Structure 1
């Protein structure tokens, strides 16, 4: 059995203690709620939406996660056992807090909920970017506040080049701008062919910190040329693909090596694969289906009401690092407003 306090040897709390850090996160969570209000106003939304990842691309509740039979002994922990298979929910999304056309420059996310039993579920949240633009929660919120409500190329450029350096300092602002501009400039043909990373680590029992990622299984067909007039072209492509075949990913883990190359507290540092090679541990299969059926539409609506958070897990798989720790308060506050639970 893993030590439930093992995380303490890897983490450093802002303010020197969990209690001091929790107060910081509560204040940051309220700033996230204000950003949520700005998004609602600027997007002219009928009600509160998610502060980020507002637009669902695809959502299904009939996926499966199956762990490999040759799972390394050191990675076997709790529900993670050789050959174990579980149902899963999957939600693809665009990262922005206001729904926009799929052609808009944006990051793409995927949330996977592994359903182990009635009382045990594990949410895995990933983006198609290996490291976060923000090193920690403060940077994340400062960036989100600066960019909230921005529209048009000139306004976005002004906020990147003038307002963001004032908020976080020029070195951090430059890092954020380069990271995001490179990421969103890439053309995406199919969400099924994207690779997704956790960006921040979680505990994996006695194995210690890991980052996880989904990468497309070999053999996937290339995406057709997109219809540029289709506002929902990423959904259209993935729905067409799923009418013909399963979509399959490999779930891989990168293991912590040392604080210099695979830091726990700094989410802006990519864990290099030559130091922490990805180890395949499971497959995620989204089965062939018709996403335009009445049943599939009802499933999407139901999943839209759910709250995905890395803190939906067990102690053995506890989220690690400043950015992950902040998500408990931030997701709780923004979800409460979205679902009318304030």
Structure 2
């Protein structure tokens, strides 16, 4: 016996259904371990779902947010692989040097010297604003009330959407998308959150595979079949053909084409510490009826679509977290493994309605802001009990130095931005 639940605005895409509005997940009852894995638990104890078709005689009991948190474990470990400090240092040095080379190879402005250099990844900004808002849920569970996440709190938010490619290309091409957004407190506190589209499955399992993906990206700058063949050969040599195919598949399925940013779902690629728990995050669209691009299309189709949708009304996303349960269902070391744990909504990122009269100004501001902004998850809110959303694991450990060096290379390391453009925004 099964129950079919449609999760509005929350999509799990492969290349074959990239334009789908909703994903349908089949939940079996009463004793299926995966029955809560895909749904988002609302703050009033209900799944954020659409129509629920319940067979006659079956009673569906949905857990409250507090009940879900009770299944999370505080006994998590950061569990860095036993590489040794020298091996990890070598990986970091390799990642820094390879990212610098990639930036110079792929993103130097035509007809100029090596300066200025664009971002290593997420090279093209598709939409940006300094005037979004983040609203914390009024009835946030006690366990999640950490740092800026105080019930009912509201913050100004600075946001940048981008295409994941290391080269500036048309929005009409298939690509993974990214978002970086910052919560700005009244006392100068900030919290950056960086996410990418696709699913909870990362392309790289660990730091070594992450570095291998940077090496492969250098081949892609050649373009065409030659570039793709070189990238695949590079991956196969470094991590083996089987894992190379896994990475290529995951990277391909993370891409979308013709999908509005307002209908996309963005995920963290590694765990973070929130209070006593290790969590992963996602940003899921709220109330999007038409996932396709609106407007005339073209190289800036995503920008045009976002501007036009804000003219019609506010654009909203729900920030959600899922917690560590055990190593089997929520691995702290295998970042390619998608966590099997329900989602709980923490708050909403809101882009207020922007009247048509300000369309030209909106486009201009978006372009200017996008060029200047940079984000890093190491810009953290200082909480009473230490750092909030502290990055965990070796993938995040690798990113720290790479972010810093990439920011220096692209000239965005100043106090105004306090961040790095590598990978996430």
Aligned to 1:280: 345
Q: Please show how residues 46-85 of structure 1 align to structure 2 within 5 Å.
A: 46=112, 47-85=116-154
Q: CA RMSD in A?
A: 2.6
The one of 251, 276, 297 equivalent to 2:319 is: 251
Residue 240 in 1 paired to residue 275 in 2?
no
CA 1:40–1:189 in 2, change beyond 3 Å: closer, same or farther? closer
Instruction: State the shift of 1:144 in Å.
Output: 2.0
1:124-149 Cα deviation digits (max 9, x unpaired): 11111222211123212222222325
Instruction: State the shift of 1:118 in Å.
Output: 4.1
TM-score when normalising by structure 2: 0.71
Aligned to 2:270: 200
Aligned to 2:376: 309
Aligned to 1:137: 207
Q: Is the 8 A contact 1:7 1:320 kept in 2?
A: no
Q: Please show how residues 261-272 of structure 1 align to structure 2 within 5 Å.
A: 261-272=329-340
Greater fraction helix: 1
The one of 217, 222, 230 equivalent to 1:159 is: 230
SS class of match (1:88):
strand
Instruction: State the shift of 1:160 in Å.
Output: 4.5
The one of 258, 281, 284 equivalent to 1:215 is: 284
Residue 174 in 1 paired to residue 245 in 2?
yes
1:70-129 Cα deviation digits (max 9, x unpaired): 111111112211111111011000001110001222100011111124432111111112
Task: Count the aligned residue pairs.
Answer: 329
The one of 21, 26, 35 equivalent to 2:88 is: 21
CA 1:224–1:125 in 2, change beyond 3 Å: closer, same or farther? closer
SS class of match (1:237):
helix
CA 1:299–1:267 in 2, change beyond 3 Å: closer, same or farther? same
* CA distance in 1: counterparts of 2:287 and 2:404, whole angstroms: 37
Which residues of structure 2 form unaligned runs of 5+? 1-73, 382-386, 415-425
CA 1:161–1:146 in 2, change beyond 3 Å: closer, same or farther? closer
Deviates more, 1:252-261 or 1:115-124: 115-124
SS class of match (2:345):
strand
Residue 44 in 1 paired to residue 95 in 2?
no
* CA distance in 2: counterparts of 1:225 and 1:303, whole angstroms: 21
Q: Is the 8 A contact 2:273 2:390 kept in 1?
A: yes
Could you list the structure 1 runs, at least 4 aligned residues long, displaced by more than 6 angstroms after superposition.
none
Instruction: State the shift of 1:180 in Å.
Output: 1.6
* CA distance in 1: counterparts of 2:145 and 2:413, whole angstroms: 38
* CA distance in 1: counterparts of 2:408 and 2:152, whole angstroms: 37
Instruction: State the shift of 1:226 in Å.
Output: 6.3
Instruction: State the shift of 1:270 in Å.
Output: 1.2
Aligned to 1:3: none
CA 1:14–1:243 in 2, change beyond 3 Å: closer, same or farther? farther
- Structure with greater Cα Rg: 2
Q: Is the 8 A contact 2:322 2:344 kept in 1?
A: yes
Aligned to 1:334: 406
Instruction: State the shift of 1:20 in Å.
Output: 6.5
CA 1:261–1:162 in 2, change beyond 3 Å: closer, same or farther? same
SS class of match (1:173):
helix
